[in-house]
């Protein structure tokens, strides 16, 4: 009998209940009138008189233990049920909220604006070969942009077609034109790399959005109107643009586009160096040689292209004056832009 009491003591101690039902099961098993402990009390009558004192004490201890356990099972299952039954999953957690990176916000806005004009999004690889980054885009063999000082070459096993980190997203134009029959109307966002000393105005990596429209009879006027629409959507309806003649190997004619200064609205300030204008992108009519390189007949098709830095647009839009802030991951800076 002493052994059976010890065993029951062990069982009772180890018993765990998840809910009120299991606590009740415990009561029925051990403490009810037909439970194991009552049965032992019944048997107690048959215990030899010289053992009665010792066994009686043990039995009483067992009963008290069981009652205490039942009490604790009941209170625990009650409190667990009340929390799981009433948890408010939407209550504020108290943890600080994240926000989108400003470059992501602006990237999305640029793609949205061109999306409204029917431009779809394409992407290309960051590790690019010489053909797609330079040759197909009409860069002459000795062009300085190919120089080791500007380009991060990563594999020159084939000197005629070395691999490098792309220096601009214009490479994606080539990749898409090679495999698509016009009309092509696309914007191509992505990260680009240049071997530059890091400063407030330059970084060894940054982001661009490239644009391309190739079809029959696409004109310079189409380009101008597209870029005016973009500028006014991005910087406000009173924004003016101006195009200055420039040179890029892959466009002819080429231009750089300025917008009226977003800070002083043309009156003259530090950002626009008192000129009233700030440059935001390069553009031009796709050079016929580029179309031919991609297997497109320049006598049938024409097109325009443009390329802009996302950092530059973001700096103008939000008045940020140091490029390095975008990659330092300081949440005091990043948290100011909101945007979920």
Nearer to ligand DAH, 130 or 210 (CB): 210
Q: Residue from 77, 226, 251, 262 that binds ligand DAH (CB under 6 A)?
A: 251
Site membership for ligand DAH, residue 170 (CB under 6 A): yes
Nearer to ligand DAH, 124 or 282 (CB): 282
Nearest-approach distance from CB 311 to ligand DAH, in angstroms: 12
Site membership for ligand DAH, residue 230 (CB under 6 A): no
Q: Residue from 113, 283, 290, 294 that binds ligand DAH (CB under 6 A)?
A: 283
Site membership for ligand DAH, residue 258 (CB under 6 A): no
CB neighbour list of residue 217: distance below 8 Å, 6 or more residues apart:
302
Cβ atoms within 10 A of the Cβ of 338, count? 10
Nearest-approach distance from CB 263 to ligand DAH, in angstroms: 23
Q: How far is C-alpha 126 from the chain's CA centre?
A: 18
Site membership for ligand DAH, residue 307 (CB under 6 A): yes
CA distance 120 to 330: 33
Give the Å distances, CA to CA, from 91 to 83, 87, 95, 339. Answer: 14, 9, 11, 21
Site membership for ligand DAH, residue 293 (CB under 6 A): no
Which tokens sit at 183? 């009309």
Q: Radius of gyration (Cα) for the chain, nearest Å?
A: 38
Binding mask 42-81 for ligand DAH (x = CB under 6 A): ----------------------------------------
Question: Segment near ligand DAH (CB under 6 A), from 29-37, 55-63, 259-267, 276-284?
Answer: 276-284
DSSP output for 96-130? PPP---HHHHHHHHHHHHHHHTTPEE----SEEEH
Site membership for ligand DAH, residue 189 (CB under 6 A): no
Which tokens sit at 313? 């647009």
Nearer to ligand DAH, 73 or 296 (CB): 296
Q: Residue from 272, 284, 294, 316 that binds ligand DAH (CB under 6 A)?
A: 284
Site membership for ligand DAH, residue 282 (CB under 6 A): yes
**DSSP reduced 3-state for 209:** strand
Question: Segment near ligand DAH (CB under 6 A), from 61-69, 71-79, 234-242, 277-285?
Answer: 277-285
Dihedral angle at the C-alpha atoms of 117, 120, 125, 129, nearest 10 degrees? Answer: -70
Q: Residue from 306, 311, 314, 323 that binds ligand DAH (CB under 6 A)?
A: 306
How many alpha carbons lie under 13 Å from residue 247 in its C-beta half-sphere?
4
- 280 in Cβ contact with 145 (< 8 Å): no
Number of residues lying near ligand DAH (CB under 6 A): 11
Question: Contact positions toward ligand DAH, by CB under 6 A?
Answer: 168, 170, 210, 248, 251, 282-284, 305-307
């Amino acid at each position: 009998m002493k052994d059976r009491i010890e065993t029951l003591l062990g069982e009772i101690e180890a018993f765990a209940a998840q809910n009120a039902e299991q606590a009740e099961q415990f009561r029925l098993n051990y403490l009810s009138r037909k439970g194991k402990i009552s049965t032992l009390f019944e048997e107690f009558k048959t215990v030899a008189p010289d053992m009665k004192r010792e066994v009686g004490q043990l039995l009483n201890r067992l009963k008290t233990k069981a009652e205490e356990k039942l009490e604790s099972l009941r209170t625990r299952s009650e409190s667990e049920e009340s929390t799981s039954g009433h948890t408010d999953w939407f209550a504020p957690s108290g943890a600080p909220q994240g926000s989108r990176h400003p470059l992501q916000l602006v990237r999305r806005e640029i793609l949205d604006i061109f999306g409204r004009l029917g431009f779809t999004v394409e992407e290309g690889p960051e590790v690019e070969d010489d053909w797609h980054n330079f040759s197909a885009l009409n860069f002459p063999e000795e062009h300085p942009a190919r120089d080791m000082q500007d380009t991060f070459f990563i594999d020159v096993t084939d000197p005629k077609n070395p691999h490098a980190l792309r220096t601009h997203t214009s490479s994606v134009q080539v990749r898409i034109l090679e495999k698509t029959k016009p009309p092509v109307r696309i914007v191509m966002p992505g990260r680009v790399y240049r071997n530059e000393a890091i400063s407030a105005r330059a970084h060894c990596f940054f982001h661009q959005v490239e644009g391309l429209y190739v079809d029959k009879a696409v004109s310079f006027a189409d380009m101008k109107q597209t870029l005016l629409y973009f500028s006014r959507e991005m910087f406000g309806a009173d924004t003016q643009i101006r195009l200055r003649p420039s040179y890029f190997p892959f466009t002819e004619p080429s231009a750089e586009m300025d917008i009226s200064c977003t800070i002083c609205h043309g009156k003259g300030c530090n950002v626009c160096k008192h000129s009233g204008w700030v440059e935001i992108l390069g553009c031009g009519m796709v050079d016929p040689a580029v179309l031919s390189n991609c297997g497109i007949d320049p006598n049938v098709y024409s097109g325009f292209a443009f390329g802009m830095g996302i950092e530059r647009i973001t700096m103008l839009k939000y008045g940020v004056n140091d490029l390095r802030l975008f990659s330092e991951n300081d949440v005091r800076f990043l948290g100011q832009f909101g945007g979920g």
